[in-house]
Amino acid sequence: MDTALREFVRAPLPPEQGGKVVSAVGYRTSGERPGLHRGLPSPYLTLIFSLDGPVVSGRTAEQATGPDAVRTDIVVGGLHQSPAYVVQPEHQAGIQLAVHPLAARSLLGLPAAELTGVLVTDGTDVLGRIAADVRERLCAADGWDERFACLNAYLAGRAADAGRLGPVRPEVAEAWAWLARHRGAGTLRGLAAHVALSERRLSALFRAETGVTPKQAARLMRFQHAKARMVRAVVAGAPADLARVAADCGYYDHSHLVRDFRQYTGASPSAWLAEECRNIQAGGHRDGQD
């Protein structure tokens, strides 16, 4: 019998966030069988405030379970192209946010590109020691509503204090919006023409801001939408029609969807769904994307 308890609570996002935070989910689980969870690539940055011991992770399963594992109470993660392996303890709690990469300047105080190449950064190295104080207040808060209010106030304060780095270049902002509208479909040539830049210039500016090329961002967006479609099928108790998902999400064919799944999850679509089925059914794969 499965006696594990899984609680996932989506935070209400105030209008002033303006798309900076795409989703915020509070989670608490207990009675889990210790194991490894795959933190998947997405078009968003990750910010986690753990409320129950450090988050332990690595680039490989071996690193995550070995002496070189990364351990931090506040996680900041940039855009990445392969899964992160996260130790799933018997009990855990925290708040996980999906942050728009173009909001990194205002919320994190640096361009998203500065997080490239490092799987996980200690949040206090990015946000300062005040983030540790915020985490303590979150731990002491009485319930999710109070925690979310505390976190929203902190983020609003950071956004109000933004401006030291200047705004994101409008061509990059519009390029990201164009990719999002097309859900990762379209060509680099069409995107470059839309923002009136050469393909080379656009790619250089885009990568300098986000840490990935437009093509890499487009693949992440397509994968995110495909994964969301598959998750909805599981929640509805229906099988995932991979050929239809591939066609509807802009993949050339089914094999290209499987290729991306193997890169981004380290498993086939069916294997990943089987592995994550319990978390999906409990509501643990809601990211605000669809």
Query: Model's pTM, two decimal places?
Result: 0.91
Task: Calculate the average pLDDT of the chain.
Answer: 90
Query: pLDDT of 30-52, one tens digit each?
Result: 988 888 988 999 999 999 999 99
Planar angle of CA 212, 213, 219, nearest 5 degrees: 90
* Per-residue model confidence (pLDDT) at position 161: 79
Rounded CA gap, 42 and 1, in Å?
33
Higher-confidence position of 118 and 122: 122
Cα-Cα-Cα-Cα torsion 273, 275, 277, 280, nearest 10 degrees, comes to -90
Confidence of residue 163 (pLDDT cuts 50, 70, 90): low
Query: pLDDT of 184-235, one tens digit each?
Result: 998 999 999 999 999 999 999 999 999 999 999 999 999 999 999 888 887 7
Contact status, residue 124 vs residue 131, Cβ threshold 8 Å: yes
**With 60 as the cut, is the pLDDT of residue 116 above it?**
yes
Higher-confidence position of 2 and 198: 198
The average pLDDT across 82-92 equals 93
Find out if CATH 1.10.10.60 is the number for domain 170-215: yes
Q: Please state the φ and ψ torsions of residue 35, each to the nearest 5 degrees.
A: -170, -155
* Per-residue model confidence (pLDDT) at position 235: 79
Least confident of 25-34, 103-112, 141-150, 205-214: 25-34
Which amino acid does the sequence have at 14? Answer: P
The average pLDDT across 259-281 equals 83
* Per-residue model confidence (pLDDT) at position 259: 94
Q: Could you identify the residue written with the tokens 């855009």?
A: 79
Which amino acid does the sequence have at 202? Answer: L
Rounded CA gap, 24 and 95, in Å?
7
* Per-residue model confidence (pLDDT) at position 92: 94
Q: Tell me if 170-215 shares its fold with 217-281.
A: yes
The correct CATH number of 5-160 out of 2.60.120.10, 1.10.287.130, 1.10.150.120, 3.30.365.10 is 2.60.120.10
Rounded CA gap, 83 and 276, in Å?
14
* Per-residue model confidence (pLDDT) at position 290: 42
CATH architecture of 217-281: Orthogonal Bundle (1.10)
Give 242-282 as a 3 state SS string.
HHHHHHHCCCCCHHHHHHHHHHHHCCCHHHHHHHHHHHHHC
**With 60 as the cut, is the pLDDT of residue 289 above it?**
no
Enumerate the domain spans of the chain: 5-160, 170-215, 217-281
> Which residues are within 8 A (CB) of 195 and not within 5 positions of it... i.e. 6 or more apart?
171, 174, 175, 178, 202
Confidence of residue 271 (pLDDT cuts 50, 70, 90): confident
Residue 33: CB atoms within 10 A of its CB come to 8
